Amino acid sequence: MRVIGFVLGLCCLVGCASTAPNPPTTRPEIATATPTSVSATVLAPTPIALTATPMALALTWQSYTAYQVEAGDSLESIAERGASFPLFISRYNRLNRPIGAGQLLIVPRLENDQLNRLPSTPALIRRGLSSQNWVGLSCDLGAKAGPIEPIVTTLASSAISMTFFIDHMWIEQNPQGLQQLATAGQELANGVALAQLEPETLSQALLRTETSLTNQLGMDASIRPYLRIWGQASSPELAELAAQNGYLSLDNAQERDAAELAESLVDPEQAASYRGSLIALDCNSAETAAALPLIIERLQQAGLQPQPIAEVMQP
């Protein structure tokens, strides 16, 4: 029966496939973990928002592998070694170009008896891989965020897309804002504020955001694979826990104060040095909305184009 369900889900997926961040002064509200014993066992993955299409949601992911692409790899060879499927890997990682050496991917493993032969290489995301004159631009939105209309207006007038890291509280308090971002084609990613980095607490927080998102936008919506964990210092443990839950976590050293960033971009040589960088802005602050037009203008004057993280992370 499981084999039949897999075949039907796979047929639907193939047949229906479509093209598919200096620390800020204001932080998202920190979630305090309830006392619990830390277990090495990760919560069973949920089929909610695992891909950009609903057809594969009936399949259960058994585990995830954070894999760094090596020379000569293809999606087919990675899928064969990782007990996955090329189209699942592509959709999950928002790929629209051929993969390349050094690229980080999340490989979701299917529930079957095939052995996973991929090495696990979790790492924090620090820079992009694109050879283009691009900058990865992202925005943190938590419970204390103000109206996003000024930001959306700026992006629309500049024809710019960027990545928005959102948590479940922002989604539930701003359903219209979420619809605005989705309608405008902005990239959505998971944001979690944690007082303590505990495995079960992280898994539950990620699931809450995924559930809130699909309740508002439906099962076609996805915020994987990129993640921001607010309130925690960057560490190998952070990268490992993110990967166990099917995410690639942005290094928190990429946070920038919007006003200071805009001022630094006055120097064209300094502005040009941001090529390939990943910049995280605190969009809970009205100062960020005010500085964003100038940031975009000065990056473009230096020949750089802001892009969502998924674009910059591809060769």
User: Dihedral of CA 226/116/97/216: which sign?
Assistant: negative
104-110 and 61-68 beta bridge pairing: antiparallel
Name the domain count of the chain: 1
Specify the CATH number for the domain of residue 237: 3.20.20.370
pLDDT (tens digit, 9 = 90+) per residue, 2-28?
333 443 344 444 443 333 333 343 443
Distance (Å) of CA 118 to CA 80, 84, 124:
9, 11, 18
pLDDT (tens digit, 9 = 90+) per residue, 231-284?
999 999 999 999 999 999 999 988 999 999 999 999 989 999 999 999 999 998
Sequence-distant contacts of 299-304: CB under 8 A, at least 24 apart? 299/135, 299/265, 299/271, 299/274, 301/268, 301/271, 302/265, 302/268, 302/271, 302/272, 302/274, 303/133, 303/272, 304/133, 304/134, 304/135, 304/271, 304/272, 304/274, 304/275
85 within a domain of the structure (yes/no): no
Domain housing 299: 124-312
159 within a domain of the structure (yes/no): yes
Side-chain-side CA neighbours of 194 within 13 Å: the count stands at 25
102 within a domain of the structure (yes/no): no
pLDDT (tens digit, 9 = 90+) per residue, 305-314?
999 999 999 9
Looking at residue 60, what is its pLDDT? 59
11 within a domain of the structure (yes/no): no
Instruction: Give the whole-angstrom CA distance, residue 189 versus residue 191.
Output: 7
20 within a domain of the structure (yes/no): no
Q: What percent of the chain lies above the pLDDT cut of 70?
A: 80
